[in-house]
Homo-oligomer: A and B are copies of this chain.
């Protein structure tokens, strides 16, 4: 059982799909683990650290992938990498299939069985395999750190002999995994934190982290709040009142962090240019949905832009900006999933194709695109 980890080829990708910790665990399960030289360099993992835990280091991609039974990646492999993979290989990574149907078809054609980690079901058993959560958590943390660096003022209140520096006002839009970690981090740094979410039920979580929930709390809201769970659609009248409240709230904020990222879909616009120009010069907006076009009007994906004297941070891979921690959790997610396919007795690969986790994540098998979200469509060429 050979498990291969090639170096990521995307320029913006600093993460790696295995760590010394997961290497050790895989070796304990009977695997031979081969890491392409320098694969961990940008995630601060020297080759020697992999070797110390039992990995072999291969000098190039071709040698890494030769005879591999499983290939672990962060991103969808490029065409050259795919060409080095033999028919029958299992590929596990964040394959970002939406809008890339042709590339998925090419994986099928190569005979590779590909699993896209983004499709992991959100069930208890798969929590430890949830790459979206593990990376969103770190993206939420890093968003606050980036905002603090770009912001020309201190985050905490400071009482000094020369006067008081007021605490920064930070507004988090979206209280999912990234938003909740952003709230916690901004609170740690001493900011005055507010947050909002389309789900009234998020109010309780936001408040439990010490932030104030921003919402029009009318009867409709209160009913939706207690009904719990995922949102029923709020009325148009409510949404209009809420939008007005949010717009007037943003004008008073120093830092806004937007987190409305839905994989495979364009990001909803939450902050328009009128809201940006209502903010004080030097304010900072971090758009965690930049890779899907952004929640903010004026976001330049991959860059830091200035709009109406407001700094708009649009990095596309925020988790990749904290690559060592992000790789540690991502690699662990992959290991935990791969472990379900390893037979403990024989120490060999025995994927149970009827397992709901495999079914939900498998994109290609036996030369065909098999995932229900992609199979029926005609692959683009």
Enumerate chain A interface residues (CB-CB to B < 8 A): 14, 43-46, 127-130, 133-134, 137-138, 141, 145-146, 148-149, 151-154, 156, 158, 160-163, 165, 185, 188-190, 280-282, 309, 322-325, 328-330, 332-333, 336
Contacts and interface: CB of A to CB of B under 8 A. Distances in A.
Given A44-B281, A149-B149, A154-B325, 11 more contacts: A43-B152, A44-B280, A44-B309, A46-B309, A130-B162, A141-B156, A145-B149, A153-B324, A163-B328, A165-B328, A188-B190
A36 to B, nearest CB: 17
Contacts of A328: 163, 165
A370 to B, nearest CB: 27
A116 B44 CA distance: 45
A272 B45 CA distance: 23
A188 to B, nearest CB: 5
Contacts of A322: 151-154
Contacts of A333: 162
B323 A161 contact: no
Contacts of A161: 127-128, 130, 133-134
Contacts of A148: 145, 148
A146 B14 CA distance: 19
Contacts of A330: 162
Q: This chain: how many copies in the complex?
A: 2
B163 A332 contact: yes
Nearest 3 pairs between A and B by C-beta?
A: A44-B282, A152-B324, A162-B329
Contacts of A336: 162
B158 A137 contact: yes
Contact of A188 (B45, B133, B137, B189): B189
B189 A160 contact: no
A153 B282 contact: no
Given A152-B324, A152-B325, A154-B141, A162 B281 contact: no
A163 B137 CA distance: 12
A256 B218 CA distance: 51
Contacts of A323: 152
Contacts of A149: 145-146, 149
Contacts of A138: 154
A202 B189 CA distance: 24
Nearest to A158: B137
A149 B190 CA distance: 17
Contacts of A153: 44, 322, 324-325
Contacts of A185: 156, 189
Most chain-B Cβ atoms within 10 A of its Cβ — which of A138, A165, A332? A165
A329 B152 contact: no
B145 A162 contact: no
A275 to B, nearest CB: 18
Nearest to A181: B158
A281 B47 CA distance: 11
Nearest to A163: B332
Contacts of A160: 133-134, 137, 329
A78 B325 CA distance: 46
Contact of A162 (B134, B151, B152, B162): B134
Nearest to A327: B152
Contacts of A44: 152-153, 280-282, 309
B165 A329 contact: yes
Contacts of A165: 325, 328-329
A44 to B, nearest CB: 3
A324 B282 contact: yes
Contacts of A152: 14, 43-44, 322-325
